[in-house]
């Protein structure tokens, strides 16, 4: 009897050891990142090249090819939009060498919405992609600010080096001065545009030569030692000298490589290359994967939760309705944060305390879905959402935990939402409340309680289109939008008392958010700056503090 029980115990311990080892191995080999860039910088092109290395697609050009395009890019969403259904970003998972990469897609400007920001809440690393000719652009700056909120490591890829661009030193200066982010160039370009000859690897002191290929063809990367006589034949002396002088300058005056600073999001490694010709992409990917951080501990009500926590936990960072128009379904995207997720497991929903069996978890590769058997920290799974999940919700097994919520990001488009048909008010109210709960849009209210119409506040026009469309299709209410003409919103951390102390504010409208907190709306940033000048003591925030344990105002 005792032998039996000790056998059972030891086999249990063995099994626990094996599953712990599995978890450790899975965590160690996971890397998760999002690409932040402005439209046209080359995100689709770079993504395609990365997928190519991961074997997730078979041929260059597949992303752009018609049939494949809908599978790999988020451009398919534009098509879905024309058909009037909702749109959000996707997650691509692929293996490269012995690493499992989760690439979180952040849609371009037409698809830009709060989901784009929220996706960054699920990312452990970000790749900031710049066009060498344009440098930092507005959408990149906005996305960068969101990364900064969580201090996630940023890796910079300066693209389109095969075309005339800005001086590389000026590009680094811009990042340092405008983003307050130190830079450390991993490689350095020799020439640019028609005179682009390749890169100098600062670590190995090798030259990676660029050979110009026909448009659409891959360039072949040839490596030579700096001292190799062939270099002189292939690279003009003045170009090489200039590049070496610039490197010398960086060695003397630039930041040093410091992994801790990179991990803290204070220093960005910078890579130069050309995604279209697939030049510099592989060296980038290899170095990036070495330096990028694996799944990180996330803050919860119980303190930081280690990915190696044995029991499963994760949080909802994105909800998407009608992904598959044939089924009119809703999907909640969960970022796995700890433990192993297994199909059919029963988890707890922290907000309601309910138990749920997760029977059809999915991995979603654009429109293709695959049922997931298991998933590990850093992975993203899609769950069918029968309406119970909201943005920021925690799912867990074992001891109760609740992850820190996801903040509301600063909206830039504000419209009254009118319901011209009073008999449809009940449905209107239901729709508005449910869409707010889902996180489709932020809802603000006038401080004059007699003006009951809600104000829709969004970061992209698309969000408003989706809300109107869904109110009509899912709740049967036709609505009218009336633009308010504001572009900037700021929360007041000091709340109503701070505003009262201030007295009358000019060129600004005060409204309430769904938690009855004051929000100031401005027509432009000039008016906002004027307020700062008049009241330098006033504290304002572009991001709404996370709410917990308070019921929202409903319509």
Q: Which residues bind ligand G4P (CB under 6 A)?
A: 37, 39-45, 64, 108, 159-160, 162-163, 274-276
Q: Is the dihedral angle over the CA atoms 529, 531, 536, 541 positive or is it negative? A: negative
Taking the complex as a whole, the smallest distance from the CB of residue 154 to ligand G4P amounts, in Å, to 17
Both tokens of 78, joined, read 């534009």
* Alpha carbon distances (Å) from 341 to 15, 101, 188, 389: 16, 17, 42, 18
Taking the complex as a whole, the smallest distance from the CB of residue 244 to ligand G4P amounts, in Å, to 24
Taking the complex as a whole, the smallest distance from the CB of residue 276 to ligand G4P amounts, in Å, to 3
Taking the complex as a whole, the smallest distance from the CB of residue 252 to ligand G4P amounts, in Å, to 30
Residue 37 or 397: the one with the smaller Cβ distance to ligand G4P is 37
Is 395 within 8 Å of 350 (Cβ atoms)?
yes
Q: DSSP per residue over 263-329, as a string? A: HTTSEEEEEE-BTTTTBSHHHHHHHHHHHS--SPPEEETTEEE-TT-SS-EEEEEEEEE-SSTTTT-
Residue 64 or 349: the one with the smaller Cβ distance to ligand G4P is 64
Is 269 within 8 Å of 186 (Cβ atoms)?
yes
Taking the complex as a whole, the smallest distance from the CB of residue 401 to ligand G4P amounts, in Å, to 37
- The number of CA neighbours under 13 Å toward the Cβ of 383 is 34
Residue 358 or 462: the one with the smaller Cβ distance to ligand G4P is 462
Residue 147 or 489: the one with the smaller Cβ distance to ligand G4P is 147
d(CA 41, CA 57): 21
Residue 159 or 192: the one with the smaller Cβ distance to ligand G4P is 159
Residue 163 or 343: the one with the smaller Cβ distance to ligand G4P is 163
d(CA 221, CA 534): 58
Burial of residue 284 (CB within 10 Å: 0-12, 13-18, 19+) is buried
Taking the complex as a whole, the smallest distance from the CB of residue 551 to ligand G4P amounts, in Å, to 41
Give me the count of residues in the chain.
555
d(CA 61, CA 67): 11
Using DSSP, state whether 476 is helix, strand or coil. coil
Beta strands 341-342; 330-338: pairing state: unpaired
Residue 65 or 239: the one with the smaller Cβ distance to ligand G4P is 65
Taking the complex as a whole, the smallest distance from the CB of residue 321 to ligand G4P amounts, in Å, to 24
Residue 70 or 163: the one with the smaller Cβ distance to ligand G4P is 163
Taking the complex as a whole, the smallest distance from the CB of residue 457 to ligand G4P amounts, in Å, to 26
Query: Which of 386, 385, 403, 407 lies closest to 394, judged by CA?
Result: 403
Q: What is the CA radius of gyration of the chain?
A: 25
Taking the complex as a whole, the smallest distance from the CB of residue 39 to ligand G4P amounts, in Å, to 4
Residue 42 or 392: the one with the smaller Cβ distance to ligand G4P is 42
């Amino acid at each position: 009897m005792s032998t039996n029980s000790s056998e059972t115990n030891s086999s249990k311990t063995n099994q626990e050891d094996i599953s712990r080892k599995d978890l450790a191995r899975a965590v160690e080999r996971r890397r998760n990142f999002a690409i932040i860039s402005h439209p046209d910088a080359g995100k689709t092109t770079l993504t395609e090249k990365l997928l190519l290395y991961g074997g997730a697609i078979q041929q260059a050009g597949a992303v752009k090819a018609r049939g494949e395009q809908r599978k790999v890019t988020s451009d398919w969403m534009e098509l879905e939009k024309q058909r009037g259904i909702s749109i959000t970003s996707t997650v691509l998972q692929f293996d490269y060498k012995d690493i499992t990469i989760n690439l979180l897609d952040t849609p371009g400007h037409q698809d830009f919405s709060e989901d784009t920001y929220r996706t960054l809440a699920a990312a452990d690393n970000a790749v900031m992609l710049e066009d060498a000719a344009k440098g930092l652009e507005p959408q990149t700056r906005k996305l960068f600010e969101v990364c900064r909120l969580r201090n996630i490591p940023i890796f910079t890829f300066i693209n389109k080096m095969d075309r005339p661009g800005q001086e590389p030193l000026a590009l680094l200066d811009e990042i340092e001065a405008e983003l307050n982010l130190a830079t450390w160039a991993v490689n350095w370009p020799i020439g640019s545009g028609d005179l682009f000859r390749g890169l100098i690897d600062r670590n190995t002191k090798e030259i990676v030569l660029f050979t110009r290929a026909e448009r659409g063809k891959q360039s072949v990367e040839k490596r030579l030692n700096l001292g190799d006589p062939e270099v002189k034949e292939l690279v003009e002396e003045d170009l090489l000298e200039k590049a070496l002088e610039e490197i010398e300058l960086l060695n003397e005056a630039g930041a040093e490589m410091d992994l801790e600073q990179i991990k803290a999001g204070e220093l960005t490694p910078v890579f130069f290359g050309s995604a279209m010709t697939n030049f510099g992409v592989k060296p980038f990917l290899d170095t990036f994967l070495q330096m990028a951080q694996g799944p990180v501990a996330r803050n919860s009500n119980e303190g930081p939760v280690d990915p190696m926590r044995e029991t499963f936990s994760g949080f909802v960072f994105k909800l998407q309705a009608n992904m598959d128009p044939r089924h009119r379904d809703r999907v909640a995207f969960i970022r796995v944060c700890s433990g192993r997720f297994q199909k059919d497991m029963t988890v707890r929903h922290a907000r309601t305390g309910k138990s749920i069996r997760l029977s059809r978890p999915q991995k979603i590769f654009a429109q293709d879905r695959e049922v997931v058997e298991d998933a590990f920290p850093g992975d993203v799974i899609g769950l069918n959402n029968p309406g119970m999940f909201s943005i920021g919700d925690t799912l867990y097994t074992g001891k109760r935990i609740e992850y820190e919520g996801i903040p509301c990001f600063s909206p830039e488009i504000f419209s009254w939402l009118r319901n011209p048909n009073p008999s449809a008010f009940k449905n209107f109210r239901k729709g508005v409340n449910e869409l707010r709960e889902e996180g489709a849009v932020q809802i603000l209210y006038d401080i004059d309680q007699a003006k009951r119409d809600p104000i829709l506040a969004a970061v992209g026009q698309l969000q408003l289109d989706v809300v109107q469309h869904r109110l009509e299709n899912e709740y049967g209410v036709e609505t009218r939008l009336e633009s308010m003409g504001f572009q900037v919103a700021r929360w007041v951390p000091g709340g109503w008392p701070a505003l009262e102390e201030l007295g009358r504010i000019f060129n600004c409208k005060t409204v309430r958010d769904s938690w009855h907190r004051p929000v100031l709306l401005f027509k432009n940033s000039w008016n906002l700056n004027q307020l700062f000048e008049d009241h330098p003591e006033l504290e304002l925030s572009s991001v709404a503090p996370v709410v917990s344990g308070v019921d929202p105002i409903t319509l």
